Chain A
Amino acid sequence: GQSLEQPSEVTAVEGAIVQINCTYQTSGFYGLSWYQQHDGGAPTFLSYNALDGLEETGRFSSFLSRSDSYGYLLLQELQMKDSASYFCAVKYYGNNRLAFGKGNQVVVIP
């Protein structure tokens, strides 16, 4: 199959670190993307991993391991505004189609 699996919800306090995992069952893709969506808002692009390893963008980092069919998004120094849903997505070889995971809701509490 070509599904992407993400756990559903996590609650954490301000200042904490949260890791959101994404496992997938496809090999033919260009890279792994992450999107953030606040309640009632549009998904916005966060990060992209074309190659294995860690990509860091401020408080957010994303990791990909193609050999393990696994990636994660790391949210550091959590802030209240980070309360949102986070989606991983892959773009298959040969087309422009993005396949999204079902998302992981992060709730940040004071």
Chain B
Amino acid sequence: KAGVTQTPRYLIKTRGQQVTLSCSPISGHRSVSWYQQTPGQGLQFLFEYFSETQRNKGNFPGRFSGRQFSNSRSEMNVSTLELGDSALYLCASSHGQATGGLSIQYFGAGTRLSVL
């Protein structure tokens, strides 16, 4: 079974630009979550999509948005990039049961975004 695939792996942008990152989850997984990872802050939750609907949202500005398609693939968009957006963006998929216990997150290798 193929793992979680994120594209592109590396991206360099300049301030003010926008960027779209892509995530293909494990086949059969309906939940996709996005995280921002920086050395100082660890993994910060951005949002989670389940069956094309945003189910949870973290504390990030509205410049960060996402969507999920009917095949569970997800995209994340960051508009008006700032230097502080430089980070590793990780996507994770899971079966996504609505409530309760263990829901193992399977992570992709991430997209490393550098904003100059």
B residues sitting closer than 8 Å to A (CB atoms) are 3-4, 31, 33, 35, 41-45, 48, 50, 55-56, 58, 90, 92, 94, 96-110
Contact = CB atoms under 8 A, between A and B. Distances in A.
Contacts of A89: 43
A96 B110 contact: no
B42 A102 contact: yes
Interface of A: 30-31, 33, 35, 40-45, 48, 50, 87, 89, 91, 94-103
A96 B49 CA distance: 10
Contact of A96 (B50, B106, B109): B50
Contact of B56 (A87, A97, A103): A97
A87 B107 CA distance: 13
Contacts of B35: 100
Given A42-B110, A43-B107, A98-B33, A103 B101 contact: no
Given A50-B102, A96-B103, A103 B42 contact: yes
Contact of B104 (A40, A45, A87, A99): A45
B102 A31 contact: yes
Contacts of B99: 94
B113 to A, nearest CB: 15
Contacts of B50: 96
Given A42-B90, A42-B107, A101-B42, A48 B102 contact: yes
B99 to A, nearest CB: 7
Given A30-B101, A31-B101, A97-B48, 9 more contacts: A41-B109, A43-B92, A44-B107, A94-B99, A96-B55, A97-B33, A97-B56, A100-B45, A103-B43
Given A42-B108, A42-B109, A95-B55, A87 B43 contact: yes
A56 to B, nearest CB: 16
25 contacts: A30-B101, A33-B102, A41-B109, A42-B3, A42-B90, A42-B108, A43-B107, A44-B107, A45-B105, A48-B102, A50-B101, A50-B102, A87-B43, A91-B103, A96-B48, A96-B96, A96-B103, A97-B45, A98-B33, A98-B105, A100-B43, A100-B45, A102-B42, A103-B42, A103-B43
